[in-house]
Amino acid sequence: MRSRATHSTALAVLVLLAAGSAPRSQSAATAHRPNVLFLYTDDHAADALSAYRPGLIETPNLDRIARDGALFRNAFCGNSICGPARATVLTGLHSHANGFCRNGDRFDGSQTTFPKLLRAAGYATAVIGKWHLGSEPTGFDHWEVLPGQGQYYNPDFDTPAGRVRFEGHSTEVVTERALRWLREGRPSDRPFVLMCQFKAPHRPWLPGPRELQLLADADIPLPPTLFDDWSGRGPASREQEMTVARHLFLAYDLQCPVDEDEELFGAYTAALRRMTPAQRATWDRAFEAENAAFRADPPTGRALVEWKCRRYLRNYLRCVLGVDRAVGRLLDALDELGIADDTLVVYSSDQGFYLGDHGWYDKRWMYEESLRVPLLMRWPGHLAPGTTIDALVQNIDFAPTFVDLAGLPVQDAMHGTSLVPLFDGVAPVWWRTSIWYRYYDGIPVHAVPGHRGVRTATHKLMVFDRPELGTELYDLRADPDELHSIADSEEAAGIRRDLEAELRRQGQRYGDRE
């Protein structure tokens, strides 16, 4: 891929941007209003995509988007948790401004969203798949969404006509419903936006029947930081409850039932009961030999941690491969319908995920693995094949981008900026030089404390809500794995002061005054 370096500018440029010097719209460059196919997954780590990390698995259909269009190397979320990320995509606002800060909140569907704006401008709008916002979708001509987190096998869907169940694996069902709308449901005389949102690869990592045998003999590489003791980080990293070693359940997470008293064992068996007899038989065949070997001679110590990590990764990656196959079907459908050249395809995920890195699974932290998201875009004739974009972008930018491409003015209230100026691979001089992040405390699952921070191209500052947890600072060039905080280093005192000032400026810019 061609490398396109982003312009390096001083932090002072951000002050100009905050003051409104950056253009809010680039609509003159996008007189032709494209269709938008927005493909969104849950918990897809950028490293689990061969366009970003060759050698772990091959994702040829996702790579096809990058090869035919653009790959964003520095795309991030603003709050690494499922529901808040989705609310941000819809509104272009950080969590505190759209009112959805934590999973379990209820999205206010009366507020302005990009589907509403595009629908009013003549677009047909649809959302199919995971929603996870607690309220019914608004602004859509058509919607079929999973209730809550949704189920992998034979999932239920909420629709305007009520709840219905479809037989099959969630990834395949979402794909079939999306294809049905593309072929039969959308009006052919109007542009459309289709949000096709997969549950996979979210926990508990139940692959579909076609993927169950994949990677069975693959030598899955383990991350070099699997046995990280977090000694170079602050105390918050030692409070968490998301380790591969101690917090993955053998049945629920690893599909190896051993102890019926295990917490969440009932959730595992409930998932199995949803399967048809044929699905269950395929499932049992996939795991019975390996499970029998585990029970006969269970590993211990470090060997057990490595076994857990490989078992987790195989099923996680199998879920990703199911998504990759689904994306290929959707891309082929655009070709068959003759609309590929008129359609912007966007692929991303609500947040990143830990693939055993630092001994963890899950997300929430501002550390790189959960902060960074994959972002691929294809729009023939407007994004040159093989473009690489290094500018700092965030999920607040999706809504302004789609509004801009529809030929509408980007609303001043939106926190994000249209990505259209980046489509030639070169960032304008006024482009942001840092991104702002905030994760909210009050979610007991995994015991990750609330924190906020800023990330530049070279450094990251994290400030925890609880004063006793302190501040962390990382030099991302010298320490890309973020193993050693330099927050208390005399040599980094000036950088810390600058980033603390930047954090305050960003909070003021976005109206976060807590």
Nearest C-alpha neighbor of 180 from the set 144, 140, 147: 144
Q: What's the pLDDT score for residue 513?
A: 75
Q: What is the mean pLDDT of residues 230-253?
A: 97
Single-letter amino acid, residue 143: W
Query: Is 226's pLDDT higher than 60?
Result: yes
The per-residue pLDDT for 21 is 46
Whole-number pLDDT of residue 444: 79
Residue 162: pLDDT band by 50, 70, 90 thresholds? very high
Say yes or no to pLDDT of 50 above 50: yes
Q: What is the mean pLDDT of residues 457-481?
A: 97
Q: Is the pLDDT of residue 182 over 70?
A: yes
pLDDT in tens, 4-19: 333 333 333 333 343 3
Helix, strand and coil in the chain, % to nearest 5: 35, 15, 50
Contacts of 341 (CB under 8 A, 6+ apart): 380, 381
pLDDT for residue 18: 39
Handedness of CA 127, 168, 82, 377 (dihedral sign): negative
> Between the CA atoms of 102, 74, 363 and 174, what dihedral angle is there, to the nearest 10 degrees?
80
The predicted structure's pLDDT at residue 445 = 85
Whether pLDDT at 289 is above 90: yes
Alpha-carbon distance values, 243 to 105, 196, 343, 508 (Å)? 26, 31, 41, 35
Q: Where are the beta strands (DSSP E) in 160-316?
A: 162-165, 192-197
291-307: pLDDT as tens digits: 999 999 999 999 999 99
Token digits for 175?
A: 């794909």
Q: What angle do CA 253, 259, 262 make, to 5 degrees?
A: 60
pLDDT of residue 158 exceeding 80, the answer is yes
For β-strands 142-146 and 192-197, DSSP reports them as unpaired
- Cβ atoms within 10 A of the Cβ of 319, count? 31
354-407 residue pLDDT tens: 999 999 999 999 999 999 999 999 999 999 999 999 999 999 999 999 999 999
Percent of the chain residues past pLDDT 70, beyond the cut:
94
Q: Give the pLDDT mean for 412-424.
A: 97
Residue pair 195/330 in contact by the 8 Å Cβ criterion: no
Q: Does 201 sit behind a cis peptide bond, omega within 30 degrees of 0 on the bond before it? A: yes
The per-residue pLDDT for 442 is: 76
Where is 145: in which H helix or E strand?
strand 142-146
Least confident of 40-54, 97-111, 375-389, 438-452: 438-452
Q: Could you tell me the pTM of the whole model?
A: 0.94
DSSP assignment of 69-117 equals: SEEESSEE-SS-SHHHHHHHHHHS--HHHHT--STT----TTS--HHHH
- Alpha carbons within 13 angstroms on the beta-carbon side of residue 421 total 21
Q: What is the pLDDT of residue 385?
A: 98
**222 near 310, Cβ under 8 Å?**
yes
pLDDT reported for residue 311:
97
Residues forming a β-bridge with 454: 436, 461
Helices (H) and strands (E) in the chain, counts: 13, 16
Q: All domains of the chain, ordered by start, with CATH?
A: 33-205+313-421+433-510 (3.40.720.10), 238-308 (no CATH)
Burial 188-221 (b: 16+ CB within 10 A, else e): eeebbbbbbbbbbbbbbbbbbbebbebbeeeebe
Mean pLDDT of 215-224: 95
119-156 tens-digit pLDDT: 999 999 999 999 999 999 999 999 999 999 999 999 99
Mean pLDDT (the chain) is: 94
| pLDDT, tens only, 62-111 | 999 999 999 999 999 999 999 999 999 999 999 999 999 999 999 999 99
71 vs 376: CA distance, rounded Å: 5
Q: What share of the chain has pLDDT > 90, as a percent? A: 92
> For residue range 168-181, what is the model confidence (pLDDT) as tens digits?
999 999 999 999 99
The full 3-state SS of 9-71, as one line of letters, equals CCCHHHHHHHCCCCCCCCHHHCCCCCEEEEEEECCCCHHHCCCCCCCCCCCHHHHHHHHHCEE
Which is higher by pLDDT, 466 or 26? 466
Residue 210 in tokens: 């076609």
